[in-house]
Amino acid sequence: MEIKNALITGAASGMGKITAKRLAADGVHVAAVDVNEENLNQLKQESNNISIFPCDLADSEAVKQMVVEVTNQIGSIDRVTHAGAVMPMGSIKDLDSSSINNLMRINYEGTVNIVSNVLPSMLEKNSGQIILFGSIAGTCPLENMSAYCASKAAVNIFGEILAKEVKDTDIRVMVVCPAQTNTPLMRFVDETDAPDVINSAVEKGMLCDPEEVVDQIEKDILTDKIICYPTKEAVYATRIRRFFPNYWWKLVAKNS
């Protein structure tokens, strides 16, 4: 389908920013959404095809109003790429309930808020693309990442079921499940009690290239795949966890 207007969350950094810049360069009018207004303003300077919409994705009313504003300003939304998320880390005993619940509000409820507000218009016109960033963290757990893994497990399942529920329409839904990728989310590795396996990957320069991840997303969105595993690392980790769940923890320890 032809993409004229796209809404990108998490557009102030990482793969959301890469996606926004690529689409804008291709002539797509991009609604760039993020809570980081300063970085959004910098992004806006890079293309006349980018309009910015600061928004807290965890606030359902704010998201609802934002989608209305986007539609009024740039027109009907043809594609949504939902990449907005946070990744604080820490052991369960060290995280209070408010911290864990807040992460779920941003990562999972933020996904629900976006989908709930863009899906009706796509159903009405029987057209659209919804790309949701889940993660292999939703199926491949790590210590000190309980909250993040749980939130991404919720996103993975929500997105997969959504894809099946709209299978008889011309709406394309895909869940992206990357492995550890070199984006600003990795700044939490220095700020929190990150798992040893992630610390090791950062130190050894073994994080996936975000540009390659976005490349694969654009290829897979043209297929009938529901889940996009954009790199061989994502495929490998997911298969190990699925078929050898107990061995998974030994493998994590070995690579720490």
Here the CATH number for the domain that contains residue 99 is 3.40.50.720
- What stretches of 42-122 adopt beta strand conformation (E)? 50-54, 79-82
148 included as an active-site residue: yes
Q: Which domain holds residue 88?
A: 5-254
Question: What confidence score (pLDDT) does residue 89 get?
Answer: 86
The token pair that represents 7 in the structure block:
């809404």
Q: Is the pTM of this model over 0.85?
A: yes
Mean predicted lDDT score pLDDT of the chain: 91
Digit-coded pLDDT (tens) for 66-115: 999 999 999 999 999 999 998 888 899 999 999 999 999 999 999 999 99
Angle between the N-to-C axes of helices 232-243 and 245-254, in degrees from 0 to 180, rounded to the nearest 10: 130
**Residue 205 pLDDT exceeds 70:** no
From 108, 148, 236, 247, active-site residue: 148
Q: What are the pLDDT digits (tens) for 215-247?
A: 999 999 999 999 999 999 899 999 999 999 999
Q: Own/partner pairs for 61-69, CB < 8 Å, 24+ apart?
A: 63/110, 63/113, 63/114, 63/117, 64/113, 64/117, 66/33, 67/7, 67/114, 67/117, 67/118
Q: What is the pLDDT of residues 34-68, one digit of tens each?
A: 999 999 999 999 999 999 999 999 999 999 999 99
Q: pLDDT value at position 179?
A: 87
Tell me how many domains the chain contains: 1
pLDDT at 57: 97
